[in-house]
Structure 1
Amino acid sequence: MKIISSYGVELRKQNIPIRQTLEIYRSAVRYLVKVYESVWEELAKIENSKKRFNAAEHLVHTTKRNPARFDFDFCFPKMPSYFRRAAVQHALGSVSSYQTRLEHWKAEGQKKGKPYLESKQYAMPVFYHDVMYRKNTEEKDAAFLKLYDGRDWKWFAVRMKHTDMEYLRKHWSGEKASAPILEKKHHKYFLRFTYTEEVSLNKTPVKEQTICSVDLGINTDAVCTIMRPDGTILGRKFINFPSDKDRMYRVLGRIRRFQREHGSRQVQGRWAYAKRLNTELGKKIAREIVFYASENRADVIVFEYLEMKGKLSGKKKQKLQMWRKRDIQKRCGQQAHRKGIRISRICAWNTSRLAFDGSGKIDRDIQDHRLCTFQNGKRYNCDLSASYNIGARYFIREILKPLPATERSLLEAKVPAVKRRTSCVYADLRDLISEMELRKAA
């Protein structure tokens, strides 16, 4: 399995013509977009992508054997060939996407708004190795970039942030990086390096697996349970970052009061700060989940399939909007795959509503939402009960799926609760394992 990872290295503030380079590159892309839009009928006839790219480049670039039809070389003299080809590729993609959307719009009967071709192209250039980007052998935290100073293309020494370069040397030393892409975030420029690595995910049979079932919550960030196929619980962990959440909720309170007094026009900076805090919180939660799973040698990390659609309402509306459940699962998947751990998801219906011991629906406490009361009077942590049910549903599905239809129907007749996957709980897994052991002994 191929895993692609990237990291952005910040460029230190220097007197280098980054803006001029970015401006001329985007001007070239805008010029090419207009050209290819005017001759798209001619280019659309070429089905092969490489031949289409070559034909598009021949339209604007003059060689000994090919006189160009358009004066691109005159408007952008001495532009490096790699920059020109990157601009051609970006312009072709933009025009092709626009033409496809236009065809769909016509096929649908012109019901929705007509698509348009974006005139402002916010393309970012790629600095290819040796011809546009070179390492500085004398300084560790420096490199050379070929930039446009307003008159000509020249090599400029660029210094990069020391901590970013230390991270690359620590985690990616010896690995080959792709050509860096220029990025701009928060008025700062970055070079994003991409690394590709081959990893092999574990192929442990279900009967020998150890899983880490995770219940993502709002009050408690995550509850992890290490479980075996027979229902044995090997470990439990509550992951919570109260100080980080308290800081974020205080920022959200300030935003709410500011909007009430001044409106929502001048609050973008405050929202950006709150989102950065929330993103950092998601990174911490994902890192702790994967670390706990790898520490206990889990083969699979099991999540709920959380899909929240429609308009949110109620007191916890703002908390739900800032709940980064998809981002946490995505980050966990990326980090877990690098360690050879698989990711699986199960249906989220009733995992928190039903007690893990099979006693039925639970009653949540009004004062402390983390605790609940079972129908038999037992007091328990609601999120921990849900994590038991998540792990049990995974094993029930994986155990029953490969069985023949006759054997599966016999087991479902003995344990009817496993037929309906949306109401399976931890107690049903124990009953299913007991029934399978009885049938094996007989």
Structure 2
Amino acid sequence: MKKPAKVIRTDKWQLNPTPDQKLLFGETVKVYRRACRYLVGIIYAHWSELGELTADQLTPAVEKLMHQTAKRPDVKYPQFNKSFYKFPSYLRRAAMAFSAGLVSSFVTRYREWQSGNRNKRDAKPPKLNADTGCYPSLYKGQCYKLHGFDQVEIKVFNGSDWVWTTIQITGLRERHLVATNKMMSPSLVFNEKCCHLSVPFTCKPEKRKPEANVTAVDLGINTTATIAVVTHSGTVIHRDFIHPGRDIDRRDKRLKSVSMRASLTMGKGGKLHKGFCSRTYEKCRRINHQIGHIVSKRIVEIAEQFNSEAIVFENLKGWKPKGGKKRSNLRQRFHGWLKAKIRNFTEMKWAELGGKVIEVVAAYTSKLAYDGSGTVKRNLKKYSLATFPSGKRFNADLNGAYNIGARGVFKLVGRNGHEGRSSKRSGRPPRSWACLCDLWTRLGSSRLA
């Protein structure tokens, strides 16, 4: 039996440092990064011997090269103890693990480049960059001590010695309250913009006893996500439309300003400089990130509310948008389609609760009527409206969600699992192109709710 993958999620614990504590944190991060740079040089110089060792064997092997003790007075690189006076042993080992990972990554990428595995023909070789923006990992008892969840005591560097300082925790999430979650070593993240503890948790979700239904998601442009909860008998017990219009308008307004500024900058000809409107694009990326979290959170809430077996998405990997008519904004709208982001965020949130995400064939989900009457006709003026051959008018995205849910059920119960095989009945699409009506005829005779 396949062992379930370990689920690790990270919380951000906001800290409220005083001006003096900010100076201490700045010094701590600075000396930790210097130690990492020093260790990268040592590890890379001896990588031919160190690269074959396991993670547990590597740390003592590196310490034999640079850490002096009473039993080991002679080492090859004695400067470390002199340059980093009283450097905490646990911080030193965290720096070793980070530096070894950095060197290992570089060596792997360089060997791939040498073997000709390159994105471009004239791609330059990778460089070993020891000056990275890493942050110190804190080990419980040695580097930090929790006083409830209101205060934390952290060992910091004051320029000459390592001392303890107590700081207020001003913001938490809920993962520390879950009994099955195990807290791992946090990292102290400090720079000009933020100060917080990045706290990873190993999440062990409880074994679920789901109901016989799936939560189907149709990701669109007119409506960000259309939800339908479909039972194994083909009954739709819930439907919902998720569309954070305010955030989408904020993003689109900023993107529209880019074209206006570009025309004012270039005039009738010319080129835009590198990094043109980079701050605007960064802001839009952040808005997209927020939209992805808002939508995925709501999808998971619905799946949890109905205790669904799985969340079902269309398999849109490799799908590329086609441009619309001249001067239409269809291409730009497709670029704002967060299909991958929403799906990935949903999978991460749902896995933390012990659920699974499955994908079905995307072909003809919105084109075929869920009642089996045939191919729908889309309204040219209002594309979200579909007309069935029977004359029934229905929401095209909701119709797609019904069919996605039916295909998800078939995939779970083990029927119609042969993707791409043709049906024995002539004139029928491949078996994986199932509609909701197929559930009624094959798995039950319930009517649509």
Q: Pick from 413, 417, 425 the counterpart of residue 424 of structure 2.
A: 413
Amino acid corresponding to residue 140 of structure 2 in structure 1: H
Q: Distance in 1 between matches of 2:261 and 2:126?
A: 37
Give the corresponding residue for 1:439.
Answer: none
Q: What is the CA deviation profile of residues 242-295 of structure 1, one whole-angstrom value per residue up to 9, with x for unaligned ones? A: 223222222322333334434563633333332232222222211221222222
Q: Is the 8 A contact 1:181 1:192 kept in 2?
A: yes
Segment drifting more, 338-347 vs 73-82: 338-347
1:57-72 correspondence runs (5 A): 57-66=63-72, 67-70=74-77, 71-72=79-80
Q: Is the 8 A contact 2:295 2:342 kept in 1?
A: yes
Give the corresponding residue for 2:134.
Answer: 123
Alignment CA distance shift 1:109-1:340 (3 Å): closer
Give the corresponding residue for 1:37.
Answer: 44
SS of 1:258's equivalent in the other structure is helix
Q: Distance in 1 between matches of 2:331 and 2:15?
A: 39
Does 2:292 match 1:282? yes
Does 2:312 match 1:302? yes
Q: Distance in 2 between matches of 1:194 and 1:109?
A: 34
Does 2:14 match 1:10? yes
Q: Distance in 2 between matches of 1:268 and 1:150?
A: 37
Q: Percent identity?
A: 28
Q: Distance in 2 between matches of 1:12 and 1:259?
A: 41
Give the corresponding residue for 2:269.
Answer: none
Alignment CA distance shift 1:335-1:310 (3 Å): closer
Q: Pick from 225, 229, 252 the counterpart of residue 228 of structure 2.
A: 225
Q: Is the 8 A contact 2:367 2:376 kept in 1?
A: yes
Alignment CA distance shift 1:337-1:185 (3 Å): farther
Q: Is the 8 A contact 2:15 2:195 kept in 1?
A: yes
Q: Is the 8 A contact 2:180 2:204 kept in 1?
A: no
Cα drift, residue 419 of structure 1:
4.2
Give the corresponding residue for 1:386.
Answer: 400
Cα drift, residue 180 of structure 1:
1.2
Q: What is the CA deviation profile of residues 183-235 of structure 1, one whole-angstrom value per residue up to 9, with x for unaligned ones? A: 3577212211122232244366xxx7211111111211211112122212222
Q: What is the CA deviation profile of residues 292-347 of structure 1, one whole-angstrom value per residue up to 9, with x for unaligned ones? A: 22222322211112224557745233333333222222232233334443321112
Q: Distance in 2 between matches of 1:27 and 1:344?
A: 46
Q: Is the 8 A contact 2:17 2:167 kept in 1?
A: no
Q: What is the CA deviation profile of residues 377-413 of structure 1, one whole-angstrom value per residue up to 9, with x for unaligned ones? A: 432111011011101112233444499x9xxx9x953
Q: Is the 8 A contact 1:362 1:374 kept in 2?
A: yes
1:81-160 correspondence runs (5 A): 81-108=89-116, 112-136=123-147, 141-160=150-169
Give the corresponding residue for 1:358.
Answer: 372
Q: Is the 8 A contact 1:20 1:149 kept in 2?
A: yes
Q: Distance in 2 between matches of 1:384 and 1:251?
A: 30
SS of 2:226's equivalent in the other structure is strand
Segment drifting more, 423-432 vs 232-241: 423-432
Cα drift, residue 123 of structure 1:
1.6
Q: Distance in 2 between matches of 1:81 and 1:184?
A: 21
**Structure 1 length normalisation: TM-score?**
0.84
Greater helix fraction, Structure 1 or Structure 2? 1
Alignment CA distance shift 1:259-1:22 (3 Å): farther
Q: Is the 8 A contact 1:134 1:144 kept in 2?
A: yes
**Structure 2 length normalisation: TM-score?**
0.83
Q: Distance in 2 between matches of 1:260 and 1:33?
A: 48
SS of 1:6's equivalent in the other structure is strand
Give the corresponding residue for 2:409.
Answer: 395
Q: Pick from 34, 37, 41 the counterpart of residue 27 of structure 1.
A: 34
SS of 1:413's equivalent in the other structure is coil
Q: Distance in 2 between matches of 1:310 and 1:174?
A: 42
Q: Is the 8 A contact 1:143 1:158 kept in 2?
A: yes
Does 2:346 match 1:332? yes
Q: Distance in 2 between matches of 1:299 and 1:86?
A: 41
Amino acid corresponding to residue 190 of structure 1 in structure 2: H
Segment drifting more, 170-179 vs 55-64: 170-179
Q: Is the 8 A contact 1:302 1:391 kept in 2?
A: yes
Q: Distance in 2 between matches of 1:211 and 1:91?
A: 45
SS of 1:11's equivalent in the other structure is strand
Q: Distance in 2 between matches of 1:85 and 1:364?
A: 63
Q: Distance in 2 between matches of 1:27 and 1:378?
A: 70
Give the corresponding residue for 1:291.
Answer: 301
Q: Is the 8 A contact 1:415 1:432 kept in 2?
A: no
Q: Pick from 258, 262, 267 the counterpart of residue 261 of structure 2.
A: 258
Q: Distance in 2 between matches of 1:106 and 1:81?
A: 37
Q: Pick from 196, 200, 204 the counterpart of residue 194 of structure 1.
A: 200
Q: Where do 5+ consecutive residues of structure 1 fail to align?
A: 436-442
Q: Pick from 78, 87, 99 the counterpart of residue 86 of structure 2.
A: 78
Q: Distance in 1 between matches of 2:366 and 2:190?
A: 43
Alignment CA distance shift 1:186-1:430 (3 Å): farther
